[in-house]
Amino acid sequence: MIHLFARTGRLDDAFQWLEDMGAEGLTPNAVTFSTLIHGCGRAGQLTRAFALLNEMKSLGLAPNVVTYTTLVDALCRDGQVIYTYFDVYIYRYR
């Protein structure tokens, strides 16, 4: 459901499902976070996308190549190509 909502731009619904997962004792994984990051990137919500990355890392989940590729894509869509490599590199090794 999170994937469906994120792909169709219904981010509030996708985030509600994430919240509901936590309430049910379910732990999101890298795929869940990458899906939400992708949705945020398509919607131009880069701050929210990077907040998800921070949340993911705070839960002890390791971002994977899909997570970082999705962030690079989001930055490029937003016209921030110059900062793309630097920003993702900083987040990766922070």
pLDDT tens digits, 8-64: 989 999 999 999 998 999 989 999 999 999 999 999 898 999 899 999 989 999 989
Residue 78 to residue 82: CA distance in whole angstroms: 11
Task: DSSP letter for 21, please.
Answer: H
Backbone angles phi, psi at 37, to 5 degrees: -60, -40
Task: Report the distance separating Cα 67 and Cα 30, nearest Å.
Answer: 7
List the domain boundaries for the chain. Answer: 2-93
Predicted local distance difference test score (pLDDT) of residue 83: 62
Higher pLDDT, 19 or 94: 19
Mean per-residue pLDDT, 3-9:
90
**In this structure, which CATH number among 3.40.50.1000, 1.25.40.10, 3.90.78.10, 3.40.50.970 belongs to the domain 2-93?**
1.25.40.10
Q: Does residue 92 surpass a pLDDT of 90?
A: no
Whose CA is closest to 42, among 82, 90, 80, 9?
9
pLDDT at position 79 is: 75
CA angle, residues 50, 23, 45, in degrees to nearest 5: 20
3-state class percentages of the chain: helix first, strand second, coil last, to nearest 5: 75, 0, 25
Q: Which pLDDT tens digit goes with each residue over 76-88?
A: 887 776 665 566 6
First to last CA, the chain: 31
In this prediction the pTM is: 0.82
